Amino acid sequence: MLRAKDLHITFNQGTPIETRALRGLSLEIPSGQFVTVIGSNGAGKSTFLNAVSGDLSVDSGVIEIDGIDVTRKPVWERAKHVARVFQDPLAGTCEDLTIEENMSLAWSRGQKRGFPRALNGSLRELFRERVAVLGLGLERRLSDRIGLLSGGQRQAVSLLMAALQPSRILLLDEHTAALDPKTAAFVLDLTTKIVAETGLTTMMVTHSMRQALDVGDRTVMLHQGKVVLDVSGAERKGLDVPDLLQMFERVRGEKLSDDALLLG
Amino acid sequence: MSFFSMMGAFEIGLIFALVALGVLLSFRVLRFPDLTVDGSFPLGAAVAAILIVNGVNPFLATFIAMLAGALAGIVTGWLNVRLGIMDLLASILVMIALYSVNLRIMGGPNVPLIAEPTVFSITLPGWMPEYVERPLLLFVIVIAAKLVLDWYFSTRSGLAMRATGSNPRMARSQGVATGRSILVGMAISNAMVALAGAMFAQTQGSADISMGVGTIVIGLAAVIVGESVLPSRRFVIITLSVILGAILYRFFITLALNSDFIGLQAQDLNLITAVLVVIALVLPKLKSRFKRRAAPAAKES
C-alpha cells in the first residue's frame, strides 16, 4: 500500500521563478491496485513520482509504503520497496554493462550485495528464461552490451528488471512515451502482464487518455499539484476519452476563474 | 638501449602499472577525475620511508602506506559526496593539502633509504643481480593487485560500483548506495597509488616531496596507451591492457631519453609525457576519421 499525505514541493523557493509543483497532494493506493495518472504538463505527475521514489525530497508531507514512513529515506534505501521504469529508455539501464550484468544489478536490488559473484550459471539460466518471454531473441545476446539494444528493447528489459525481485510499488513514468506506436503497444502489453503476474501496487503516468482508461483499475488526474479527479470501478468503466477531456477542461476552467477572481 | 636500462624501464613501468590500475578505477570505472594521486603517491612513499627509518618491518610499513593512501581517497570522496564539492576541485584540494601533510610526515623534503632494509632487500635471495630480481618481485605484486581487482569487479559489490560510475541514477534506483560506492572506490584507487609510491621510494632509495608531480598524467597515459594497444570491454583484459600500457609507456620514455640523436634529456620527461598523452588521445580520432573517409556513408550514426 502506498499512502501520500499532504505533499508539498516548491522549486526555486523565494525566487521569481518559484514553482509550486505539489500543493498538498494526497493519495492512497491499496495493495495490488494499478493506478494510471494523467494531467497536463506541469501538473506535478513526474514530481509526484520522483517524490515517491525518493529522487526529490518533499518540503512537507508524509509518504508511507506498507505503513512504513519512508519520507526521509534516500532512493537506494527505498529501492527495496520501489521498482521503477524511467521515461527515457537510456536512463533505466546501464549502457556500458551487458544485459546479464544489468539484470544482475536488479537481481540484488534491496539486498545486501556483498561479494558473491555477480553472475553464475544458474543466474544466467534464470535471466535467459525471463528474457526469452519477450520473444525478441535477447536470450541469445545476454552478454551483449545493453547500449546496443534499441530503446524499446531496453525498456522491455527495464520492465523485466523491475519485476526480478519482489517489491511493493512499481512506478512507471511515461515509460512508453519515447517509443514508436508498435513498440509502445508491445511494452504496454508486457506491463499489464507483469503487473497481473506479480500483483504489484502500480502507478503509471501517461499522456494518453485512452491508455489511462484502458489500463489498470483506477485513474487519477492531477492539476496544479493536487488530485482533482479520482475515478474507479463502474464510474470509470462508463467513461470515455471525450468525457475525460471534458472533465479536464472543466477543472482547468474552474481553476482559471479562481485565479481570475484572485487577480481581480 | 642496454639490458640494464631495459630492466630499469620494466621496473618503473611495473610500479606505474599500480598507479594505472588506481587511475583506471577512478577515471574509467567511477568517472571521477581524481588528481589526489599526485599527493597520495608521495604520501605512500613518505609513510613507508619514515616507518622503515624508524625500524618498522618494510612490509608492515608498505601496508600502512596503503592505508594512508586509502584515507586520502576517502577524504576526496567525502568532500565530493557529502559536502557536494565538485569532484575535480575536491581532488585538487586534497592534493594540495597532502603536500603539507607529506612534508610533516617526513619532517623535511626527503627521507633517504639507502642503508635501510626494504621489501626488496629482505625478500630477494640474491641469486641474480638486484636489477633483475626487483622487477620480478614487483611483477608478482602487480599481478596480485590485478587479480584482486578482477575478482572484486566480478562480485555484486563490484558490479554496483561500475553501475555507480556509468549511470548513478539507475544505480540508486536499483538500491546501490552510490555515495558509499564512490568512497570505497576512491579508497581502493588511492591505496594502490600509495602502494606504488611506497615501492618507488624503496627502489629509488629515498622518498622525496616532489616525486608525485605528474603522477596522474603518467597513470592516465598508461591507461590510454593500454586501451589503444589492447582494446576490450572485458574487465580481465582491461586490467591487463592497463598494465601493458604502463610498461610500454615507460619503454617509450626510456627509448626517447636514450636516443642521443634526438637530444632529449631527463628534464624533458614531463614534456615527453604530455606529448605522448596528446598523441594517444588524438590517434583514435584520426583513425576513425580515416575509416570514415575510406568507407563513405557506410555507417553513420
Domain residue ranges of chain B, discontinuous segments joined by +: 3-211
Cβ A255 vs Cβ A247: under 8 Å: no
Which residues does chain A have within 8 Å of residue B155's beta carbon, measured at their own beta carbons?
113-118
B233 touches chain A (CB under 8 A): yes
**Secondary structure letter of residue B267 according to DSSP:** G
| Beta strands at B110-112 and B206-208: parallel, antiparallel or unpaired | antiparallel
Amino acid, res. A227: V
Model confidence, pTM = 0.88
> Is there a contact between A53 and B173 if contact means CB atoms under 8 Å apart?
yes
What are A225's three cell numbers?
499539484
CA angle (B47, B53, B56) in 5-degree steps = 75
pLDDT in tens, B255-293: 888 877 777 777 888 788 788 778 877 877 777 777 777
Cβ A142 vs Cβ A131: under 8 Å: yes
CA distance A109 to A89: 19
CA distance B158 to B170: 15
CA distance B246 to B199: 15
Closest-CA residue of A relative to B174 is: A109
From the CA of B21, how many Å to the nearest CA of chain A? 19
Name the phi and psi angles at B268, rounded to 5. Answer: -85, 0
pLDDT at B295: 64
Option in B156, B170, B178 nearest A93 (CB): B170
B76 touches chain A (CB under 8 A): no
| Beta strands at A2-11 and A60-65: parallel, antiparallel or unpaired | antiparallel
Which residues does chain B have within 8 Å of residue A109's beta carbon, measured at their own beta carbons?
174-175
Helix boundaries (H) for A133-240 = 151-162, 181-198, 209-214, 233-237
| Beta strands at A169-173 and A201-205: parallel, antiparallel or unpaired | parallel
CA distance B17 to B14: 5
pLDDT at A89: 85
CA distance A98 to B29: 15
B232 touches chain A (CB under 8 A): no
Q: Which parts of chain A have pLDDT scores under 50?
A: 260-264
Kindly list the domain boundaries of chain A, sorted by start residue: 29-263
Give the three-class secondary structure for B140. Answer: helix
pLDDT at A218: 94
> Is there a contact between A118 and B154 if contact means CB atoms under 8 Å apart?
yes
Option in A55, A114, A117 nearest B154 (CB): A117
CA distance B216 to B218: 5
Strand order in the sheet with A2-11: A19-29, A2-11, A60-65, A68-69
pLDDT at B269: 80
**Secondary structure letter of residue B108 according to DSSP:** S
Long-range contacts of B50-54 (CB under 8 A, 24+ apart): B50/B105, B50/B106, B50/B107, B50/B111, B50/B207, B52/B113, B52/B116, B52/B117, B52/B118, B52/B202, B53/B111, B53/B113, B53/B116
> Is there a contact between A109 and B154 if contact means CB atoms under 8 Å apart?
no
Cβ A161 vs Cβ A134: under 8 Å: no
pLDDT at B296: 56
CATH number of A29-263: 3.40.50.300
Amino acid, res. B38: D
Place of cell 618481485: B137
B175 touches chain A (CB under 8 A): yes
> Is there a contact between A94 and B175 if contact means CB atoms under 8 Å apart?
no
Q: Which parts of chain B have pLDDT scores under 50?
A: 298-301
Option in B158, B170, B178 nearest A92 (CB): B170
Amino acid, res. B97: A
